[in-house]
Amino acid sequence: MSALKSYPVYFSRIARLFIEDPDAFIHFRTHGFSALDWPACDGREVALQFERLADERSVEFAKLKLSDRALNLESVDQLPQEFDQIWNLAADMATYGIWEQTARAILADPMKGPEVVAQVRTGHRVEMFNVQDVILKHIEEQTELSRQGKSYRLTIPGWEELSKNVGGFNAGRVGFIVAETGAGKTTLAMNLLSSASKQFPVLMVNMEMETKDMLDRLLKMESGVEPEWLTDQPSLDTQSRTIDAARSVQNRTPFIMTDGRALTMPEITSAIIRAKEKHGVQIVIVDYDQKIVADNDSEEWKEILRAMVKLEELSKATETFIFVLAQGDENGMPKASKRAMQPCSCVLYLHAEGKGHWIESRKNRFGKKFKMPVIANLDLHQMKEGDPHGPASILPTPTKELKNHAKMFERKDING
């Protein structure tokens, strides 16, 4: 890439490539690149327009709409040979978390593209250590943190019992929240994130609802009343409580949310990495597994399993805890892919029993089996912990079917 004289020329040529070959755009986006990360230049402006039109209408529509703009961009015939190395590398990368970092490194300095490619291919990004060299230091560090009152277990305020039961919402872990339709998966997710945002930044990868509907839910949950525009009996008290709730949310750490569109795994990866880099998010919830757009036509359970494996890698790369919401069957297992529980540190089943709601562990790598009550008001989208010492906190003996499902966790073949 040393033949290029400036970044604008480089990105201008890529933007023109999108217009002349829409398949190139699809390939580019699939493997972690986004024009949002490009440096300021004419090519970036065109590429952003192409992305927007492709998302709103179709790739072919974007091509037709911007065909005239291609005439003002640099010829793609002059793309340097080294670009092929980067392009071909995309198809070889199995872990999108690592590929996303590679993509961003190239975008930060395209002149060093071949160097970045060489580092990835030769494994220079893999870090190893000698246990004997670090084990005593680990004891010293954790002892000092404990003496400073800094818990090794990441705890969500108001959800201390749940945090303890799962061994903490610590970085580098993924989990499922499973429930049948209408049980309150999204409500639980919103309450967990809202409470967590009182102490640390969070991200909701929302692929279910319009932004306005999610904001209405949040306001009802925080204020305990219907916002004025949703009730037939508005009052000054209703409006005052709604505004107070909004100000309370504003005074917390960042609560980041996507706009409700279904996303591919590379797009989810990009969103999580950007939210981590810009806002320092510590907990991420993805709503929900079956909304993740597949890159190919393979069976749904395989796609979800691969997505969970990639999210586990991403949680380690970004030092976040990632929960994925999933539709559950009558046994409290993910309906779309039971084998997708393999990478999970915990699988939590939210269900209604009698007049109450309960959270029950289906898998819990860093804690014991548990069943704890939840106080729920689904009309106002509110949930909070119940009395953890009630008689229902002891799990019944697992059924034969649940024991059979548990054996799946011992399998090592992630492809099923």
As a whole number, mean pLDDT of residues 198-204 equals 95
Q: Which helix (H) or strand (E) holds 300?
A: helix 300-318
CA-to-CA distance for 123 and 109, rounded, in angstroms? 20
38: helix, strand or coil = coil
* % residues pLDDT > 70 (the chain): 74
**Radius of gyration of the CA atoms of the chain, in A:** 24
Per-residue pLDDT, 18: 81
Least confident piece of the model among 22-26, 31-35, 328-332: 31-35
Per-residue pLDDT, 335: 87
Q: What confidence tens digit (pLDDT) does each residue in 286-340 have?
A: 998 888 887 666 788 888 888 898 899 889 888 999 999 999 888 888 888 888 8
CA distances from 180 to 328, 330, 370 (A): 5, 8, 19
As a whole number, mean pLDDT of residues 339-355 equals 88
Instruction: pLDDT band for 392, please (50, 70, 90 cuts).
Output: very low
Instruction: pLDDT band for 142, please (50, 70, 90 cuts).
Output: confident
**pLDDT(11) > 50:** yes
Highest mean pLDDT among 9-13, 79-83, 147-151, 254-258: 254-258
**pTM for this predicted structure:** 0.66
Per-residue pLDDT, 408: 41
CA distances from 149 to 121, 142, 154, 189, 223 (A): 43, 11, 12, 28, 32
Q: What confidence tens digit (pLDDT) does each residue in 81-123 have?
A: 555 555 554 444 434 444 455 555 666 666 665 566 566 555 5
CA angle 272, 275, 276 (to 5 degrees): 85
Strand boundaries in 85-228, DSSP class E: 173-179, 202-206
Q: What confidence tens digit (pLDDT) does each residue in 207-237 have?
A: 999 999 999 999 999 999 888 887 777 777 8
As a whole number, mean pLDDT of residues 194-200 equals 95
Give the pair of three-digit tokens for residue 334.
């993910």
As a whole number, mean pLDDT of residues 187-195 equals 96
Of the two residues 13 and 305, the one the predictor is more confident about is 305
Least confident piece of the model among 273-282, 353-362, 391-400: 391-400
Per-residue pLDDT, 161: 93
CA-to-CA distance for 406 and 338, rounded, in angstroms? 10
